[in-house]
Structure 1
Amino acid sequence: MVTEVALLAAFLAIPSVAHLLGGAWPEPTGWALAGGAAVVLVLVDGLVKTARRRRPTTGSPS
């Protein structure tokens, strides 16, 4: 995973490579949306896990 993050940073941070690949750093709106999506993901995951814990079991699984 560290290698992938390092390559992503290099692809975006080295201007000549970023230009060649058609990439660029996200705009502030993009960063905000990505951060918001991460928060929503964690919240929904927690809600689903809480709902599953509270659901009564009805016998043994088939």
Structure 2
Amino acid sequence: MLQHFSFKPMFAGGSLPGWTISFFYKNQRYTGDYMPDGNINWTGETPVEEEQVKKMIHELMIFHVYE
């Protein structure tokens, strides 16, 4: 489960191309850039369970950004 998930637009005005994300997973902080096509460019360490984490991020982004 992701904790303290946050996102903000990469550029002022909230227009694309993407969002900066941060969260805690298993007591470790991760950061990255979430792109409009769903790709994530990690700006720090990549989570060991990357595919599982990506699914959780996609669900959160769909709920908060695209709905």
Q: Same fold (TM over 0.5)?
A: no
Q: Which has the higher contact order (CA 8 A, sep 6+)?
A: 2
TM-score, normalisation: structure 1: 0.31
Write 1 or 2 for the structure with the bigger share of strand: 2
TM-score, normalisation: structure 2: 0.29
Write 1 or 2 for the structure with the bigger share of helix: 1
